[in-house]
């Protein structure tokens, strides 16, 4: 078993460290020059699509939420995101002009599979973004894009999430090309930052050491808030989920602009806030949200490339050119932070209590 971990303590750790490689795999043969091309998507498949609905569970749902920002921004398509177990029972309105996208690492999640069948019955075109070829979801969908993350053993998903977001980003550019919603130069710029993003997920040993040390401080307290804005909000949700899954500490992901509408009442020094403060997206807005929390004594760990006085702890990311590069860099920080807190607490990182890698019950 040790050999399979290739010297890493846990599969999750190995999978975090693999991300820069699997992201390159994900782009291979699909990204080139000024274009993103998916052989899997037949010509004409996306014709007549006016809206997208993404449906998934858990981490895959967070990837879907993140993707919705990119699809709306790049492809100018209205994008809805739904939790599969909710979607199925709400008597959803489905229009034939809607593309139904399911996201699943395993391809076997019962609620996601059933939602997919429901959409097919309603006559929608369906697309699966999945890590397992020949899985139930891949077999059911009209068309599938494989995420190529390789086998993921850690119950807490890391590299699968990274590749799901990458595929959605690529899909947003593929559709943008078809719909002429981005200029050629803009697509080229995005592709450049995709390649950079993959590189940025390579784990820096000093950063890992820093997070290992920091994890000592964040073991107590009455809970965590992970906050961010825009696409960093789904990343905050995912950061909180990672921590919950493997450390069993209460954590909540929240849009930072919404804290003042309730959660700020919880703020005191025992409330830990992990703030995602990218330089390239709404920096001043989130900064003032974090300052509001600091003024109420919350203990703040800011992840940012900018010097920021309001934080108790700073995790510096390198200043980057685009917010998506910052997204992938911060994703790794959140994964390692959760990992190290879990290790310090003596938990089974790869097999957290009460959880299963693939949930085939409804």
Kindly state the smallest distance separating residue 149's Cβ from ligand G6P, in Å: 11
How many CB atoms within 10 Å of residue 85?
18
Structure tokens at 203: 């784990």
Beta carbons within 10 angstroms of residue 219's beta carbon: 12
Contacts (CB under 6 A) with ligand G6P, residues 55-74: 57-60
From the CB of 291, what's the least distance to ligand G6P, in Å? Answer: 33
Dist CA 359 CA 127 (whole Å): 20
Q: Does 155 bind ligand G6P (CB under 6 A)?
A: yes
Region from 20-28, 53-61, 86-94, 219-227 binding ligand G6P, contact rule CB under 6 A = 53-61
191-195: long-range contacts, CB 8 A cutoff, minimum separation 24: 191/31, 191/33, 191/34, 191/36, 193/321, 193/322, 193/324, 193/325, 194/27, 194/31, 194/166, 194/169, 194/170, 194/324, 195/27, 195/31
To the query of whether residue 287 is one of the catalytic residues in this protein, the response is no
Nearest residue to ligand G6P by CB is 58
Task: Pick the closer one to ligand G6P by CB: 155 or 191.
Answer: 155
By beta-carbon proximity to ligand G6P, the closer residue of 43 and 361 is 361
CB of 287 to ligand G6P, least distance (A): 31
Going along the chain, which residue ranges are E strands? 31-32, 35-36, 51-56, 78-83, 98-104, 125-130, 143-146, 223-228, 251-255, 271-276, 299-304, 313-316
Q: What is the DSSP letter of 75?
A: I
**C-alpha dist (Å) from residue 277 to 113, 280, 298, 315:** 36, 9, 16, 10
Which residue among 5, 76, 279, 357 is the active-site one?
357
**By rule CB under 6 A, what string of x and - marks binding of each residue 103-142 to ligand G6P?**
-xxx--x--x------------------------------
Considering only the stretches 28-36, 100-108, 205-213, 262-270, report the one whose residues sit in contact with ligand G6P under the rule CB under 6 A.
Answer: 100-108
Q: Which is nearer to ligand G6P, 214 or 249 (CB)?
A: 249
Among 178, 266, 282, 359, binds ligand G6P (CB under 6 A): 359
Nearer to ligand G6P (CB atom), residue 59 or residue 256: 59
In the block, which residue shows the tokens 């053993």? Answer: 153
In the complex, least distance from residue 64 CB atom to ligand G6P, rounded to whole angstroms: 10
Q: 189 with 85: CB under 8 angstroms? A: no
- Token pair listed for 45: 């498949």
Give the residue with the Cβ less far from ligand G6P, 104 or 190: 104
Q: Looking at beta carbons only, is 147 or 190 nearer to ligand G6P?
A: 147
Site track 157-186 with ligand G6P (rule: CB under 6 A), x = hit: x-----------------------------
User: At its nearest, how many Å lie between ligand G6P and the CB of residue 158?
Assistant: 9
**CA-based radius of gyration for the chain:** 20
Per rule CB under 6 A, count of chain residues that contact ligand G6P: 16
Query: Which residues are catalytically annotated?
Result: 357
What are the residues binding ligand G6P (CB under 6 A)?
57-60, 104-106, 109, 112, 155, 157, 355-359
């Amino acid at each position: 078993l040790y050999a399979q971990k290739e010297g890493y303590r846990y599969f999750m750790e190995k999978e975090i460290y693999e991300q820069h490689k699997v992201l390159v795999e994900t782009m291979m043969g699909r990204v080139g020059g000024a274009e993103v091309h998916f052989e899997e998507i037949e010509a004409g498949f996306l014709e007549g699509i006016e809206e997208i609905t993404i449906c998934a569970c858990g981490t895959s749902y967070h990837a879907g939420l993140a993707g919705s920002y990119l699809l709306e921004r790049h492809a100018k398509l209205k994008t809805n995101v739904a939790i599969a177990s909710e979607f199925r029972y709400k008597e959803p309105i489905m229009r034939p002009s809607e593309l139904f996208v399911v996201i699943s690492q395993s391809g076997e999640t019962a609620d996601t599979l059933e939602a997919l069948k429901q959409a097919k019955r309603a006559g929608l075109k369906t697309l699966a973004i999945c890590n397992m070829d020949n899985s139930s979801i891949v077999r059911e969908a009209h068309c599938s894009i494989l995420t190529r993350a390789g086998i993921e053993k850690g119950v807490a998903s890391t590299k699968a999430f990274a590749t799901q977001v990458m595929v959605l980003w690529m899909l947003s550019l593929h559709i943008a090309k078809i719909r002429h919603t981005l200029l050629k130069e803009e697509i080229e710029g995005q592709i450049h930052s995709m390649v950079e993003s993959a590189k940025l997920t390579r784990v820096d040993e000093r950063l890992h050491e820093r997070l290992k040390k920091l994890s000592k401080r964040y073991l107590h307290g009455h809970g965590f808030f992970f906050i961010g804005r825009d696409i960093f909000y789904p990343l905050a949700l995912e950061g909180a989920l990672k921590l919950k899954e493997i450390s069993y500490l209460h954590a909540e992901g929240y849009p930072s602009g919404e804290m003042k509408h309730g959660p700020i009442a919880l703020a005191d020094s025992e409330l830990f806030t992990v703030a995602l403060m990218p330089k390239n997206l709404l920096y001043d807005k989130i900064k003032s949200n974090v300052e509001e929390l600091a003024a109420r004594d919350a203990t703040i760990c800011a992840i940012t490339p900018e010097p920021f006085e309001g934080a108790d702890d700073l995790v510096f990311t390198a200043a980057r050119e685009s917010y998506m590069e910052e997204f992938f860099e911060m994703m790794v920080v959140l994964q390692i932070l959760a990992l190290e807190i879990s290790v310090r607490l003596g938990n089974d990182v790869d097999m957290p209590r009460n959880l299963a890698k693939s949930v085939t019950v409804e």
